[in-house]
Amino acid sequence: MKILVADDSKTMRELLTESLIKFGHDVIVATNGLDALEKFKIDRPDLIILDVIMHGMDGFECAEKIRAYDENDWVPIIFLSGAVDDENIARGINAGGDDYLTKPFSEVTLSAKIKAMQRIVDMRQKLYATTKKLRVLSTIDHLTGINNRLQLEKMIKHKMKRAKKKNHLLALLFIDLDNFKSINDHLGHHIGDLLLKEIANRLKSTIRANDFIARIGGDEFAIILGKIKDIETAGEIAKKILNILTVPFSLDGNDVIITSSIGIATYPFADTELTSLIQSADIAMYHAKASGRNNFQYYTEELHKKHKKMSYLDSSLKFAIERKELFLAYQPIFDLTDRTLVGMETLLRWKHPELGLISPDLFIHIAEENGMIEALGWWVLRTVGEHVKQWDFSSFKEFKLSINISSRQLLHKNLPLLIKNILFDTKLPANALELELTETILMSHTDISENVLKEIHSLGVSISIDDFGTGYSSLVLLKRLPIRALKIDKSFINDVTSNINDAIIVNSVISLGKNLGLTVIAEGIESEEQLNFLVTNGCLRGQGYYLSRPLSFEQMTIFLENISKRVT
């Protein structure tokens, strides 16, 4: 042990030193309290022997100062004193002492007391080693052995401070793997884990010594680029990473191909006052995902504004139902040959108190992300029910009222029951109701959706595929599922008379529908030319601004009454 001996008597110091050296310890001597305190701070002994009565600073005061200096580190202290009475013992313990040795001391007692203290010292050292190990472990990601999120956050703070002081440019790359979940699902978690480890290795090999790398979530990694010349450099490194990750991995005999999306936030350019650098890079990464994946994007002022608007919409959407900001519009669907009404599509509308009408293309997406979509979907079904009770479709033959259904609703096992209740409640014949589902929904949960769809079909309700042509459909599934109609997406109708490719696509969908015995409905007809093209090529149903814009409940009521008057 390294033992500090403090006594103002030279004889005493020498006696103690001689014995301690004999026992095999190293000794540091101090000639008074102040000297002892200084030597404690510099030499960090394992044990201290303090004379109680010394000039200037006595032993008690010195012990108190030592304890105050480092509260977390308990170095044992033995007081050395001539007279040891009760009061002295109490003072010594209160000052932070652990034991007493009376003067003159016997070597036997000294040796015994030192041994007792040795036990404390050993324990202290073990504790110190464990804490150190824990500190390291808590900063490391166990799977890949690189730093974890905690360490990244610490490092960012530290590097930001330095960058500010030295006027450096700093960049944070947020890397997220594309479709990592499907690798776990198809090849198993073992291969998923191996892939993450290999990715960590590849990333490590791309960066420089003073860059910093961490794994911050399941399939998310982050890199801090220490000192970069300009913002473009960060982009070049991101490009390098994208490339290096697309080289196939060979994992336990499996060839695995993966791409990634990267968001870049730079300091001091990104708005670090409002959002942290990690959050900004994360937002940029989402933008990269939305821009088709396998690419990188910078965090920009524009992105920041968009993000702010989205989170504002996100939070206000949660109150839209109770604040009665939602309403429904209905767009008529016609027989294109004689312009008679054959159905209508229910469209959800949101009138935001400050921002006005928000497009469902925007808020349906938000609702799907934040989980509100189910509540919105049920609200639509209930409200349609209320409206239908006030309408009479009996004079129309083969009339279909259609409702858009989101994937979350389809996955809900209560959907068939809810529809049954609505039919019962409204007396609407089951064959007058149609559910619109997009290709993506149908193809992504085939097993669940097939059962639900069959159950709904058995009620007599029909099903159509919305936005047909924008996703991927399996022809096998198209044949197997109980589908009545295909709706050609309006993006194809848009240029059908001027773009030969669109014309070919529209014609193929029409003949596909005919061959499979499905009704084909065109969306977004805006002109007479488009209408004529469709009729000439055999598409018999359609909707669009040229025929009628979506109508409010009141307008639709009048519209239906007028038709009924004409018919009767």
Binding positions for ligand C2E, rule: CB under 6 A: 331, 347-348, 359-361, 364, 380, 404, 406, 436, 466-467, 490, 523-526, 543-545, 550
Q: Are 222 and 216 in contact (CB under 8 A)?
A: yes
The least distance separating Mg ion from the CB of residue 470, rounded to whole angstroms, comes to 9
For residue 467, the minimal CB distance to Mg ion (Å) is: 4
Contacted entry of Mg ion, ligand C2E, none for residue 347, CB cut-off 5 to 8 Å set by kind: ligand C2E
Nearer residue to ligand C2E within complex by CB, 146 or 551 = 551
Pairing of the two strands 356-358 and 26-30 = unpaired
CA 568, 387, 348 angle in degrees (round to 5)? 120
What minimum distance in Å lies between the beta carbon of 236 and Mg ion? 41
Whole-angstrom Cα distance, residue 288 to residue 303? Answer: 11
CB 228 within 8 Å of CB 234: yes
CB of 465 to Mg ion, least distance (A): 9
Closer residue to Mg ion (CB): 98 or 523: 523
Tell me how far apart the alpha carbons of residues 36 and 193 are, in angstroms, rounded to a whole number.
55
One DSSP character per residue, 511-532 reads HHHHHHT-EEEE----SHHHHH
Residue 319 beta carbon to ligand C2E: minimum distance, rounded to whole angstroms: 18
Place of tokens 């700093």: 170
| CB contact at 8 A, 363 and 350 | yes
Would you say 300 or 383 has its CB closer to ligand C2E? 383
CB distance 287 to 270 below 8 Å: no
Shortest gap between Cβ of 388 and ligand C2E (angstroms)? 15
- Least Cβ distance, residue 384 to ligand C2E (angstroms): 9
542 makes contact, choosing from Mg ion, ligand C2E, none, with CB < 5 to 8 Å by partner type, with none
Distance CA 296, CA 279 (A): 16
Residues contacting residue 489 through CB under 8 Å, at least 6 positions apart: 467, 468, 469, 470, 523, 524
Sign of CA dihedral 122, 126, 131, 133: positive
Task: Give me the least distance between CB of 449 and ligand C2E, in Å please.
Answer: 14
Interacting stretch for Mg ion, rule CB under 5 A, among 128-136, 157-165, 260-268, 396-404?
Answer: 396-404
Residue 343: in which H helix or E strand, if any? strand 341-352
130, 122 Cβ separation under 8 angstroms: no
Cβ–Cβ < 8 Å for 488, 522: yes
Smallest distance, ligand C2E to C-beta of residue 368, A:
8
Q: Which is nearer to ligand C2E, 92 or 377 (CB)?
A: 377
- Complex with ligand C2E: residue 202 or 490, whichever CB lies closer: 490
Which of Mg ion, ligand C2E, none does 360 bind, CB closer than 5 to 8 A by kind? ligand C2E
DSSP 8-state assignment for residue 147: B
Closest distance to ligand C2E from the beta carbon of 475 (Å): 22
Taking the least distance from each CB to ligand C2E, the nearer of 199 and 522 is 522
Q: Which does 87 bind (CB under 5 to 8 A by kind): ligand C2E, Mg ion, none?
A: none
Nearest approach in angstroms of CB 489 to Mg ion is 6
466 binds Mg ion (CB under 5 A): yes
433 vs 233: CA distance, rounded Å? 57
Using the rule CB under 5 A, which residue among 404, 519, 543, 548 binds Mg ion? 404
Q: Helix axis angle, 360-370 relative to 301-317, nearest 10°? A: 70
Residue 310 interaction partner, one of ligand C2E, Mg ion, none, beta carbon < 5-8 Å per kind: none
**Nearer to ligand C2E (CB atom), residue 282 or residue 436:** 436
Counting contacts by CB under 5 A, is residue 439 touching Mg ion? no
Q: What residues have CB less than 8 Å from 190, skipping those under 6 apart?
A: 252
Q: Which of 141, 282, 436, 439 binds Mg ion (CB under 5 A)?
A: 436
- Which helix (H) or strand (E) segment holds residue 73: the answer is none
Residue from 35, 98, 467, 502 that binds Mg ion (CB under 5 A)? 467
Instruction: Choose between 215 and 487: whose C-beta lies nearer to ligand C2E.
Output: 487
Q: Residue 211's closest CA among 282, 152, 275, 279?
A: 152
Q: Please, which residue, 263 or 524, has the CB nearer to Mg ion?
A: 524
For ligand C2E, which is the closer residue by CB, 143 or 375?
A: 375
Binding at 7: pick from ligand C2E, Mg ion, none (beta carbon under 5-8 Å per type): none
Burial class (CB in 10 A: 0-12, 13-18, 19+), 365: middle
Retrieve residue 343's tokens.
Answer: 């159905």
Nearer to Mg ion, 211 or 467 (CB): 467
List the one residue out of 279, 276, 278, 303 whose CA is nearest residue 291. Answer: 303
Complex with ligand C2E: residue 424 or 545, whichever CB lies closer: 545
Piece of the chain touching Mg ion by CB under 5 A; list 174-182, 270-278, 401-409, 416-424: 401-409
Residues 488-547, interacting with Mg ion (CB under 5 A):
523
Nearest to 195 by CA among 213, 174, 218, 172: 218
Nearest approach, Cβ of residue 428 and ligand C2E (Å): 17
Provide the greatest CA pair distance for the chain.
128
CB 110 within 8 A of CB 101: yes
Q: Which residues sit at the interface with Mg ion, rule CB under 5 A? A: 404, 436, 466-467, 523
